[in-house]
Structure 1
Amino acid sequence: MRISMWVVATFLLAAVSLEAQARALTQNQQSVCRWGSDIAAGAQASKLSGVSLYGARKKLQVRKFPRPWMRMTALGITEQTYNSASRLKPAAVKQTYYEQCVRHELARR
């Protein structure tokens, strides 16, 4: 029972720490990390449901993006997701991507 409480406490501390780190980012940086995590989660969902990389890329090609750089970035995220052997659920991929994006943005400072 003690190990379970330790795991829960560790998880909560990590979540609070990540939230504090995310607040240190600008609104734009947070938005970009959220957007990228959504793309990664969508790509993972497509991969797990059997959609080919070609099919996933084709969906992104016809999608409208508000910024010019977003299409190529989304294609890159999707390709990396498909190349990964990961079978994680899309929600876990989304969380992992967001956490790593926040860490990356903070390290760039």
Structure 2
Amino acid sequence: MRNVWIALISLGLAGVAVSTQAKELQSNDRYMCSWGAGTAARAQELKLAGVSLYAARQKLQTYKFTKPWMRMTAMGITEQTYDSPSRIKPAALRQSFYEDCVRFKLARK
């Protein structure tokens, strides 16, 4: 009887572990991560080109955003990018941002 209980508990824990790993991101989460990664890459391009933070903010004001939360989020991402001493290429920054965002979104679930 003891072996049966150990086997059942082991199978239950394995099932929970598999279901936890199999979590998928919703399409909205993927879109947010992709959009944020693109915003960070554009900010890094401006930073490496020598554009000031003030000018980058002004440029953001001219963009048309499809959702209300995007403008302030873009401002925050741009400021964080400018505050970072990093000089990596925008493509590498985009990839890193996207991977970290996806990891964060999965960890929240």
TM interval, shorter chain, is 0.7 to 0.9
Q: TM-score under structure 2 normalisation?
A: 0.78
- The residue that corresponds to 1:10 in the other structure is none
- The residue that corresponds to 2:64 in the other structure is 64
Counterpart Cα distance in 2 of 1:89 and 1:59? 20
Say which one has the larger Rg: 2
How far did residue 58 of structure 1 move? 0.5
Partner secondary structure for residue 24 of structure 1: coil
The answer to whether the aligner puts 1:100 opposite 2:100 as a matched pair is yes
Partner secondary structure for residue 82 of structure 2: helix
Task: Give matches, 1:1-109, under 5 Å.
Answer: 24-109=24-109
Give the residue type in structure 2 aligned to 1:56.
A
Give the residue type in structure 2 aligned to 1:48.
L
Give the residue type in structure 1 aligned to 2:67.
R
Runs of 4+ in 1 over 6 A off after TM superposition: none
Structure 1 unpaired stretches of 5+: 1-20
Give the residue type in structure 2 aligned to 1:76.
G
CA-based RMSD of the aligned residues comes to 1.3
The C-alpha deviation readout for 1:60-98, integer Å capped at 9, x for no partner, is: 111110000000000000000000000000001000000
Give the residue type in structure 2 aligned to 1:37.
A
Counterpart Cα distance in 1 of 2:58 and 2:105? 29
Counterpart Cα distance in 2 of 1:94 and 1:70? 17
Counterpart Cα distance in 2 of 1:35 and 1:96? 13
How far did residue 24 of structure 1 move? 1.3
Identity rate, percent: 61
Partner secondary structure for residue 47 of structure 2: helix
